[in-house]
Structure 1
């Protein structure tokens, strides 16, 4: 039997799989806290600059002037006086985190395809928690900045494999749901981090509190098994059968006898393939075209998503409420995603492109509406709509990308796409500061990026109701395409039969 048939026997989303996915999904709260940390601990308190006369506590001499903080706020800005010509260091710390995530995606993605999901995931999570404590205890800005780079490095490897595991532990029919739950929990994590920051004001205590849940999650994740899909894609069918049998037993389905057929395209006796790594993404014509388009789409999603979120710290008013709102506004996006991407007339491709274009249009309208309008229809509300739309697109692109790449190279593909995504994350902290050039500059960037990415996304193939390729040989195989077409026709026939039954049902009742 093939892997999907085995999941039908084991259970596509049984009790144990629900527990495993719940652990990995709740881990997104920890990742959200690490990603958004700089938004609150890097907030600049109110201050005044005066001609130097007397130097007292709470001041820092800079040339012939002194800086006095008029707001009682604890942050890295107040501790290390990161204002004026030193203000760029706050944005630099945020960008270093995403630079680390970029490197982590490039390094850990192919590594997890080669040596396994579990060891890479656990190793990266352990060191992310360790370096997170270094951030909280950093004696100087330089140590803090270096620790943020290292936290991002581990976060890039861990987050990528975490998402893939939520997909590979369950049957394909549940991929959209688990992917959506993962991204939705990240949004909840942003709101919870804002609440945590409201109650814990000292920045070191906040960094410590935000990092501590990682210890609990590491202990819970140690019990998780290796991905059966990865074992199968590498030709380790016996080990894959053992993991699947354990899943079945813990799901309450006994210990069934499974016999997986060896996947095609594995050219070495040990089950390894010469077509792993990054080379197929460049050499394979189908993968090359998909990867180029997906890289730009991921870059745009990250740039607009994090740019709008970090723009919350630039807004006037309660910064904690602003950060929470930019997190909570995402939640309506996820039910919309689940509804549209599973509809035959919408699917993954059209829905993703539409949400990206709508995000761009929302950012365009913010440049027309006055920023200080007293009406509910103002620039801030439009920016929140833009965040909702790009969040929906970001959620879809995660699920969509995992379906476009074969299992044997899925993490490498996601790693390269995430690399371009992190380029957007690196640039995102600097985009809100472009308003010093012109008030509309940040939203001009978001608008053009969203609309262009939506148009390019239409070049990708649809994956709704189509089986996932396990190896590269299946990707361009005529036989595999015939299997795909037959399964699509079968699903369409089943849908037509269900619709006919629904239509005939009321008539029979009336006749009776």
Structure 2
């Protein structure tokens, strides 16, 4: 039997998979805290510089003349990152996303080569280690380097964690597990705002936000390797062992589970020539998909993080604003699940529509005066744009994993995430474009959303179509049609046997 048929026998989303997915999904809370850390530990309070008579021109005397009018403890107040040094706050945020970019590029192909589990656990261990380095940093330079290294690990494990939530379950549950992953990230943003409200010293906040990583690491040590990865690499026997283990933990005893061999390679000696990142450039189908997806991911990240990181600069409590920008995402995910599973909408049209709506909401902010009612204001329209781009971001994760075969799925997601992190690197600086004109940030977000939505319409639909395991299935439509017909026949037989 093929892998989809095996999941039908083992259980597409049994009790064991629910527990495994729950642990992987909850890690998103930890990752959200790390991603948003700079928003609160880099808070910029009001300050004034006192001119002292007879003061020397030395740096120490200049620092002593600075006083902060707000009761805020952050890296700004500790290292006096104001005036000419103010750029260092945004730089620290950009370094984090630069690390995420490198992590996506390195960890994606690496997990395709040596396995999901070892790469995931190694990255999580070092992210916790570097997270404590952030909290204990004796200087800004050490802080900045630690944020780069945390981002490196965060980008790698985020990618592999998402893929594992997909590959532990049957394809019919991919949309749900992907949506749960992104939804929990949004909840993590809101929880981080609450944590920051009660823990004001920035070092204590960084320590508290990093400590749950130890618990998550211990919970994930017992997770098995991805059976889809094992199967795609020709390690059929090991894939069968993992599937039998899942079946046993799901309360099923299966003795005759035998998978069909992939390709013609021998187990443990699977042909690697078609599984490298180079295939994303040389393969005609993958090349076009990757080009479009890279821009879509870039636009999603730029708008998503640009609006989120700008939350602390809007009027009102920074903690309430950060929480609102996290909680506003939650309605987006039920909308995603509803639309992407409808045949008249699907993945492609839903993603493009949400991106265009996000760009339109950002455009409308330029037409609304600053001081208006609470119902229609720049903040409310920005929150609407955040909701729309969150929906698009959620869909693009699920959609991309379905567009790439298993043998190159992590590499494809890694390259797309790389372009995504370019948007993340630029995002901290976009809100500061208000210095040029108040409408400049939203102009950038508007154009990015609209152009990405239009380009997304050029991709193929994947709803109710079988997931490709190898490049041969992607290149030869006949293979996909045979697989699809076998899955449908198997499901019909199961339905008939259950209703006799």
TM-score normalized with structure 2 length = 0.95
Q: In structure 2, what is the equivalent of residue 108 of structure 1?
A: 107
Between stretches 342-351 and 372-381, larger displacement belongs to 372-381
Name the CA distance, whole Å, in 1 between partners of 2:62 and 2:368: 40
Give, in angstroms, the shift of residue 51 of structure 1: 1.6
Give, in whole Å, the separation in 1 of the partners of 2:334 and 2:268.
46
Per-residue deviation at 1:246? 0.2
Measure, in 1, the Cα distance between the counterparts of 2:264 and 2:408. Answer: 12
Q: Classify the secondary structure of the residue corresponding to 2:65.
A: strand
Change (3 A) 1:281 1:66: same
Cα 1:21/1:73, change in 2 over 3 Å? same
Do the aligned residues in 2 keep the contact of 1:265 with 1:472 (CA within 8 Å)? no
**What are the ranges of 5 or more consecutive residues in structure 2 without an aligned counterpart?**
494-500
Equivalence for 1:464: 463
Q: CA deviation at 1:60?
A: 6.2
| Alignment partner of 1:5 is 2:5 | yes
SS in 2 for 1:204: helix
Alignment match, 1:14:
14
Contact 1:52 1:61 in 2 (8 A): no
Q: Which moved more, 1:45-54 or 1:182-191?
A: 45-54
Number of residue pairs matched? 490
- The answer to whether the Cα contact below 8 Å between 1:193 and 1:210 also exists between their aligned partners in 2 is yes
Question: 2:153 aligns to what SS in structure 1?
Answer: helix
- Which residue of structure 1 lines up, in the alignment, with residue 251 of structure 2? 252
Q: Which runs of 4+ in 1 moved over 4 A?
A: 265-269, 484-491
Q: Which residue of 1 aligns with 2:497?
A: none
Q: How far did 1:255 drift?
A: 3.5
Determine if the alignment matches structure 1 residue 229 to structure 2 residue 218.
no
Q: TM-score, normalised by structure 1?
A: 0.93
| Contact 1:466 1:487 survives alignment (8 Å) | no
Alignment match, 1:356: 355
Asked whether the 8 Å contact 1:466–1:488 carries over to 2, the reply is no
Counterpart residue number, 1:377 = 376
**Maintained 8 Å contact 1:267/1:274:** no
1:105–1:416 contact (8 Å) kept in structure 2? yes
Deviation, structure 1 residue 61: 3.8
1:449 to 2:442 alignment: no
User: Structure 2 CA distance, aligned partners of 1:222 and 1:284?
Assistant: 36
**Which residue of structure 2 aligns with residue 406 of structure 1?**
405
Give distance in 1, aligned partners of 2:372 and 2:451.
Answer: 29
Aligned-partner SS, 1:473: helix
In the TM superposition, residue 52 of structure 1 has moved relative to its aligned partner by: 2.7
| Contact preservation (8 Å) 1:301, 1:390 | yes
Aligned-pair distance for 1:390?
Answer: 0.2
Indicate how the Cα distance of structure 1 residues 490 and 338 shifts in structure 2: closer, same or farther if over 3 A, else same: farther
Return the alpha-carbon distance in structure 1 between the equivalents of residues 54 and 262 of structure 2: 77
- More displaced 10-residue stretch of structure 1: 289-298 or 308-317: 308-317
Return closer, same or farther for 1:148/1:26 CA change in 2, 3 Å cut-off. same
Structure 2 residue 26 is the aligned partner of structure 1 residue 26: yes
Cα distance in 1 between the residues matched to 2:48 and 2:468: 61
Aligned to 1:199: 198
Residue 188 of structure 1: aligned partner: 187
- Counterparts of residues 39-50 of structure 1 (less than 5 Å): 39-50=39-50
SS in 2 for 1:138: coil
1:439 is paired with a residue whose SS is coil
Alignment RMSD (CA, Å):
2.0
Describe the SS at the equivalent of 2:50. strand
Structure 2 SS opposite 1:51: coil
User: Which whole-Å CA distance do the structure 2 matches of 1:222 and 1:476 have between them?
Assistant: 37
1:421 and 1:213 mapped to 2: Cα distance? 26
Deviations 1:309-367 (A, max 9, x none): 01101112100000000000000000000000000000000000000000000000001
Contact 1:371 1:380 in 2 (8 A): no
Aligned ranges for residues 67-78 of structure 1 at < 5 Å? 67-78=66-77
- Which one is further off, 41-50 or 146-155? 41-50
Residue 482 of structure 1: CA displacement? 3.1
Contact 2:235 2:268 in 1 (8 A): no
Which stretch shows the higher mean deviation, 460-469 or 478-487?
A: 478-487
Q: Does 1:319 align with 2:318?
A: yes
Shift of 1:371: 1.9
